[in-house]
Amino acid sequence: MRKFMFLWALLLCLAIQLKAQNSSKPNVIVILADDLGYQDVGFNGCKDIPTPHIDRIAKNGVKFTNGYVTYAVCGPSRAGLITGRYQDRFGYSRNPLYAPQDVEMGLPLTEETMADILKKNGYYSTAIGKWHLGTHPDLHPQKRGFNEFFGFLEGGHHYMPEMWTLEDDTKAKTQYDGYKTKILRNTTPIEEKEYLTDALSREAVSFIDKNAQKPFFIYLAYNAPHTPLQATSKYLNRFSHIQNPKRKTYAAMVSAMDDGIGAVLKQLEDKGLDKNTIVVFLSDNGGPENDNASDNGPLRGQKSNFWDGGIKVPFAIQWPAKIKAGTVYEKPVISLDILATVAATVKSKINPEKPLDGVNLLPYLNGENKKAPHEYLFWRNYDKGVIAVRTLEHKIVVTETHNQELFNSLKDISEKANLYQENKQAFDKLMQQWKVWNGQLKEPLFLGLTQEKQYNELHPKRFVFDK
């Protein structure tokens, strides 16, 4: 009897230890908005669109006042985020075309994703929402480390189910037919009935419910509030005070996303997972104010350019087990740091031939390291010849007309005062650093959205599918 009791106690102890080891791995949820304006969340000062749930992430953890992404449009920015590497290192320099038969039109198979890296450490993962990293079957999320997928592969999509009139990619005839395809569950088109934003949120909540007993990773990539501007009356009715019809619909789309994020946070709490789950919120680029009525607040510029309005985004992380609530971090960080922080936390091995460009943010957030996480941050628009470099104090921007600008980023958030003439030495130093970085990069791997005519001439059977 004593031997039995001893054995039982030993097994119980081992089970508790095993559970503790498993639970020590934080769950990871990266929530990505699409074309969200810098000042369109409460924690950045929005007044006309309540975002209480998004704001909770910042309140429960850290708000970054200088949080950047690696590019000013969707596709390259997502490639940088999902790999933790500047996308120009592997030639992802353009927004990809919708080309379901072209395996080179998307994230190169030579690159590892966040899902690939976490899978090595026992994580079960799903990609939900907008992919935009390639529509060829070999570039599908489930071929890039994700166990599950729910969403669409193209760069945009209609939000209303009645508008999804094409069964799949083989029925597409034009670039924007991808907006009309049915939603995929894994690789199968399904009959979905809900407003798209609501459906994506539902799937994230369900995934947490089904996988609460193991470490998981959710890449929840909303396409809201990217155009087309479409919302249901449930959300539109909340904004009768907004007279601009475009801004009203945009607000409704942001509100739907915020509701969904609230449901995700509640599910974490209900499952007792909130303390040890890293939840990241950011946008893929700045708001295109002219297109979707977004608001970048005091920032100059918008989506597609390298002034801060195009690349500085709402950015917050909560992780109650490790990050002090109410933290405000002022030094520049970038989306590349997300994977670097997660990989360091789970002690994941990174391919030494493809080192990450991000850094582990935890030592900086908890005060162990007082320096800036990055000495330099870089941007390159290959086709337009536009470049930018940011340091703690300064930022340079060189535009298509070779206009040379230098700003004091600590004092001039709106980038109004060009200091180039009075401090050419600072400009030249940053320009030299950019040249060194640029020498490490590749030429673009594929023709992008702005070269569609040229691509079609080279690929006349782009939308001709074998039966």
- Give Cβ neighbours of residue 307 (< 8 Å, ≥ 6 apart): 299, 300, 301, 397, 415
8 Å CB contact between 88 and 339: no
DSSP letters spanning 94-142 = SPBP--TT-TTSBS-TTSPPHHHHHHTTT-EEEEEEE--SB-SGGGSGG
- Alpha-carbon torsion 402, 407, 409, 413, what sign? negative
Catalytically annotated residues: 74, 132
- Alpha-carbon torsion 449, 452, 455, 461, what sign? positive
Residue ranges of E strands in 290-391: 315-318, 327-329, 333-334, 377-381, 386-390
Strand order through the sheet with 377-381: 377-381, 386-390, 394-398, 404-408
174-190 CB burial, b ≥16 within 10 A, e <16: ebebbbbbbbbeeeebe
- Give Cβ neighbours of residue 99 (< 8 Å, ≥ 6 apart): 105, 135, 136, 455, 459, 462
Pairwise CA distance, residues 115 & 145, whole Å: 5
In this structure, what are the phi and psi dihedrals at residue 110, rounded to the nearest 5 degrees? -80, -15
Pairwise CA distance, residues 408 & 391, whole Å: 10
